[in-house]
Amino acid sequence: MTWDHTITSQTLTYMISYDALRCAKVILEGKVPRLNGLHANPNCINPYGYFPLHEAAERFSIDMIKLLFRHGASANVRTVGDDIIENLLPLHVAVENTCLHKYLEDNLFPYQNHPDYIYKIIHLLCMPEMKIFLDTIKLLAERTDNLVDEIWNYVKDGKIIQFAVLLVAAQAQIHGGCSSISNGNNKRDGFDIIMCCIVRRLVTLRLENKNKNARKLLEEEKIFLDFMGLLVDIVSQAGEALSAYIQAHSEVPHNEVLKQVSSILKEYGFCPTEGTVDVKNLCPYDCIKPDEELYHKGLTNSTKGVTGMDNLRAAEEEVNVVENKLCRGWDPTYTRRRWSGMCEQLAIKLVFGGTFVKGCWFATVLTDYKSIAGAG
C-alpha cells in the first residue's frame, strides 16, 4: 500500500476502480492506527497520467466523487502523458463516456441534418437510465472552473451530442452565472454568453466570401450552428422543467417518458415531431435478445442465444457491428477517444495478470474484452 512511507496514488486508484468506498475513506482520512497518520492525496497523479477523480468520473460513482471532494479533490485537474489523451478534465471523461451509452449510439448515428435530431437528443437524455450519468456530470460541473468555455469548446469541435449532454446536465450551473475568459470575473447567465457566441459566429460566416466548395462547407457550419442555437434555446427555457421531470421519474416506461417530454417542450413553444424516438431501439447491452433476432443478425445459430459477454465470438461480432455503424456517423473518430486507453488495461494486468474483464456496460467494454482476452 505504501512506498517510501506514503500511500501511493495507485492504491487509491484501485480502490476507486472497484468502488471500494469505505476503503477509500480509510486511506483518505488516515485515522487508522496502522497508517501511522499517513493518508492518500486525492490530487496526486498516478503513473498512468490521470487522477483519482478521473477514475471516479469514468465509473459514474457519485458517492466516490463526493468523498473525494470532501477530502479536497480538485475538479480542474487534467490528464498528462504520452499514453493517454492529454488535457482532459474529469468532466470531459464523464461527458465522453455518457455519449457511449447504447441508447445514444443506437439512435443518434449517423448525424441527421434536421431539427428532429435535436428533439431526439433531448428525449433520449430524459430517459430514466440516463439519470446517473447526468447527475455525475452535474456534480463535476459544479466544481469545474470556466464551465462556459468548456461548453463552447464542444461547439468549436463540432461535438453536438457532448454539447447537449453538458447543457442538459449542468443547466442549473449555467443559468446561475458563469465566469469565463471572455467574460472576466463578471457573472452572467451562461446561456446568454453561449448564444451570443453562436450569433457572432453566424454573422461572421455570412460575411465571408469564399469559393464554391468553401461556401458549401460554410453553409453546413451555419446549419450546424443553427441546431446548436436550438439546443441552447430549448435547455435555457425548458431545462428546469425537464430536469425536475428526470429527478422525479426514475422508473417510468419509455413511452410515458417520450409523451411527457414532448408535452413539456410544447408548453415552452417547441414543436417536436411525434415518434422521434423508436422505443424498440432502447435496448441495453445486457438485454437478452430473442434467438430469432440474433440469428438474423448473424450473431448466433437458431438454437443458441448469447447475452453481452457470454460468448467471445459473439462479443467480437458485436464490436464489429458497432464499429461499422459508427464509422458512418458524422464524427467517426469519437470511438478512439477513450481517455485512459492502454493505461487501464495495464493497471488491470498488474493486479489480475490480464485475466480480469471490467464490469463496464457501455460500448467500449466489448473492445476492452476483446483486447484483454487476446492478450491473456
pLDDT grade for 182, boundaries at 50, 70 and 90? low
Q: Which of 312, 362, 366 is nearest to 100 (CA)?
A: 362
Q: What is the pLDDT of residues 311-338, one digit of tens each?
A: 434 444 544 444 444 333 323 333 333 4
Identify the CA nearest to 58 among candidates 375, 337, 366, 262.
337
116-158 tens-digit pLDDT:
999 999 999 999 999 999 999 999 999 999 999 999 999 999 9
Q: Which residue has the higher pLDDT, 207 or 25?
A: 25
Lowest-confidence segment of 36-50, 64-78, 147-161 by average pLDDT: 36-50
Q: What is the pLDDT of residues 246-291, one digit of tens each?
A: 999 988 999 999 999 999 999 999 999 888 898 888 886 654 444 4
Q: Which residues contact 202 (CB under 8 A, 6 or more apart)?
A: 222, 225, 226, 229
The answer to whether residues 361 and 286 touch, using CB atoms and an 8 Å cutoff, is yes
Q: How confident is the model at residue 307 (pLDDT cuts 50, 70, 90)?
A: very low
pTM exceeds 0.85 for this model: no
Average pLDDT of the chain is 78
Instruction: Give the residue with greater pLDDT, 319 vs 82.
Output: 82
Provide the pLDDT for residue 376. Answer: 36
161/113: higher pLDDT: 161
pLDDT in tens, 232-252: 999 999 999 999 999 999 889
Per-residue pLDDT, 218: 86
Average pLDDT over residues 76-81: 96
- Average the pLDDT over 40-46 and give the result: 94
Say if residue 237 is exposed, middle or buried (CB neighbours under 10 Å; 0-12, 13-18, 19+).
middle
151 or 10: whose pLDDT is higher?
Answer: 151
Under DSSP, the state recorded for 49 is S
354 phi/psi in degrees, rounded to 5: 80, 15
Secondary element (H or E) of residue 184? strand 184-188
Question: In whole angstroms, how large is the CA radius of gyration of the chain?
Answer: 22
Q: What is the DSSP annotation of 53-79?
A: HHHHHHTT-HHHHHHHHHTT--TT---
372 has pLDDT over 50: no
Percent of the chain scoring above 70 in pLDDT: 70
Looking at residue 123, what is its pLDDT? 97
Q: Which of 83 and 99 is assigned the larger pLDDT?
A: 99
CB atoms within 10 A of CB 34: 7
Q: What domains are there in the chain, each with its CATH number? A: 1-87 (1.25.40.20), 89-281 (no CATH), 284-376 (no CATH)
